[in-house]
Amino acid sequence: MSAIDVGRERANRAARRSVWSDALEAAMWLAAITGIAFMIASGGFTVATAANWWNTLGRAIGIVAAVMMMTQVLLASRAPWIEKVIGHDRAIAKHTRLGKVAILLMFVHLILMTATTAAFDDRSFVEQTIRWQDYGWFMLFAQIASVSFLVVLVTSLTAVRLRWRYERWHAVHLLVYVGVAFAVPHQFLEGTTFVGGGVAWWFWAALWTVSIGSFVVYRLIRPLLLTGRHHLTVESVDTLGDGSTSVTIAGRDVARLRAQAGQFFLWRFLSPGLRWQSHPYSLSAAPGDRLRITVKASGDGSGRVAEVPVGTRVMIEGPLGIFTHSRRAKSALLLVSAGIGITPVRSMLEAVEPGDDCTVVVRVRSRAEAPLLDEVEELANARGATLHVLEGQRGATWGTAELPASIGQFVADPAATDVYVCGPPGWSTVVAADAAAAGVPAEAIHREEFGW
Ligand SMILES: Cc1cc2nc3c(=O)[nH]c(=O)nc-3n(C[C@H](O)[C@H](O)[C@H](O)COP(=O)(O)OP(=O)(O)OC[C@H]3O[C@@H](n4cnc5c(N)ncnc54)[C@H](O)[C@@H]3O)c2cc1C
């Protein structure tokens, strides 16, 4: 394929991905509108009195909340097509946004339904809250769901989230799925839409099956299958000069994982102290018949990786992420990293094709503290890539005090360059903004965030 054909193919791929991402959002709104149409068709649209109006609105809001809830479950399912179309970090960001709005709408639905039903039956709000259970077990389940959602909402507030350890926050966050499981029955057994049965019933059943089914398949069953199929074990653990640790993992048919350089997995080392933790680490070498990660100690889990015994079994989820060559839309490539953000950049550099126009910029405080820099130097040499090492203390730009940096000084034609950035979140934001200001198109700026 000529360079022009490669460029055209990349541009087409980028356009297709953007269409799919928009299509998913459009599908969510279409499902919500269809759900409301079914509600109206089943006679659920009554506006005779003010209470009827509010009741109808409460039902419609419940439908929108349900569709948002199933979409956020789907986004968190790690289904490969979601990962490919949107990318893991954007899917999780959307999941977080939609999840919060969905939970808030569920509470609006709950308040409106309780207040209007209390008005119909001439009861107080509190009495109606207690009497919901008279409607059937599914309403008690719906109340349990509300409590679960409330706990998740409160613990997702930034003030709480930043104070909690990730594992504790994540364990509580899983209550959202308990909430979904407890909320669904009341929709089928109490919702007016289902009075008519038929198409509406199948419509909702299909939506929930896709959403919950994807979650069960890709979050629960697939990791177990991968563990059984690939039998991954730790082959070597090496401490590097800067104190970080490279771990090589070997197994059966590793190539069948179809991992790409720049991607990451969620790793669970089945060794004492680590078996209950799963952490995301990017591949620090292009994947072949082995996988390699490089970990910098930043807390309890990452700090223990150096102690993992050789031979330890490893469970994985992935491959995840779209910080890969297949995401490229332009002819030239600029890889920019700082700190441990060098891991996916190093593996992408290893996978650079001969003749590729590739430049690498690595910002380091000092060589002694820079993980994998020697390997990056060797690879840049071997691949014919231009390497710039910006060494020194932070300055006013994303470079160093001694070596200020701007994207324009590293690439000849920003409009024809893909820029991949991985490093501390604040720093990556500055690099990405600089790239945009230099004229790199938004779809050609790729970031991997090492945070949550
Ligand atoms: C896509 C991605 C790729 C990464 N690649 C690398 C890598 O190649 N090398 C490397 O050293 N580090 C990498 N990290 C960062 C690494 O995952 C965290 O440093 C590690 O999880 C910290 O866990 P801890 O128990 O040591 O620290 P903790 O004290 O538990 O957590 C420290 C911080 O790490 C983050 N974190 C912890 N657990 C998770 C989790 N399961 N998911 C997301 N974030 C979490 C949170 O921001 C938390 O505040 C990557 C992170 C992400 C999101």
Verify whether ligand 1 is closer than 6 Å to residue 451 (CB atom): yes
Q: Which residues does the chain have with pLDDT short of 70? A: 1-18, 159, 192, 195-197, 451-452
Centre of ligand 1 from the C-alpha of residue 450, in Å: 6
Q: Which residue has the tokens 């604040």?
A: 426
Q: What is the DSSP letter of 289?
A: S
Instruction: Give the Cα separation of 163 and 172 in Å (integer).
Output: 14
Contacts of 242 (CB under 8 A, 6+ apart): 296, 368, 369, 370, 371
Verify whether ligand 1 is closer than 6 Å to residue 448 (CB atom): yes
pLDDT given at position 376: 97
The whole-model pTM stands at 0.83
Verify whether ligand 1 is closer than 6 Å to residue 323 (CB atom): no
Give the start-end residues of each E strand in 251-346: 264-269, 279-282, 290-295, 314-320, 332-338
Verify whether ligand 1 is closer than 6 Å to residue 162 (CB atom): no
One-letter-per-residue 3-state SS of 151-186: HHHHHCCHHHHHHCCHHHHHHHHCHHHHHHHHHHHH
From 302, 308, 315, give the residue whose CB has the most ligand 1 atoms within 8 Å, as the site to mutate: 302
- Containing H/E element for 260? none
Average pLDDT, the chain: 90
Verify whether ligand 1 is closer than 6 Å to residue 300 (CB atom): yes
Atom of ligand 1 at shortest range from CA of 296: 11
Centre of ligand 1 from the C-alpha of residue 264, in Å: 11
Centre of ligand 1 from the C-alpha of residue 162, in Å: 14
pLDDT in tens, 88-138: 877 888 888 899 999 999 999 999 999 999 999 999 999 999 999 898 999
pLDDT given at position 12: 62
pLDDT in tens, 196-243: 568 888 899 999 999 999 999 999 999 999 989 999 999 999 999 999
Dihedral, CA atoms, 59, 61, 67, 70, nearest 10 degrees?
Answer: -90
Bridge partners of 324, per DSSP, are none
Q: For residue 308, count CB atoms less than 10 angstroms from its CB and return exposed for 0-12, middle for 13-18, buried for 19 or more.
A: buried
Verify whether ligand 1 is closer than 6 Å to residue 10 (CB atom): no
Centre of ligand 1 from the C-alpha of residue 281, in Å: 7
Angle between helices 175-190 and 198-215 (to 10 degrees): 170
pLDDT given at position 327: 86
Ligand 1, atom 53, lies closest to the CA of 450
Give the start-end residues of each E strand in 187-313: 233-239, 245-250, 264-269, 279-282, 290-295
Domains of the chain: 3-225 (no CATH), 231-320 (2.40.30.10), 328-449 (3.40.50.80)
Report whether 419 contacts 345 (CB < 8 A): no
Q: What SS3 state is found at 298?
A: coil
Centre of ligand 1 from the C-alpha of residue 207, in Å: 33
Report whether 320 contacts 257 (CB < 8 A): no
pLDDT given at position 14: 58
Verify whether ligand 1 is closer than 6 Å to residue 166 (CB atom): yes
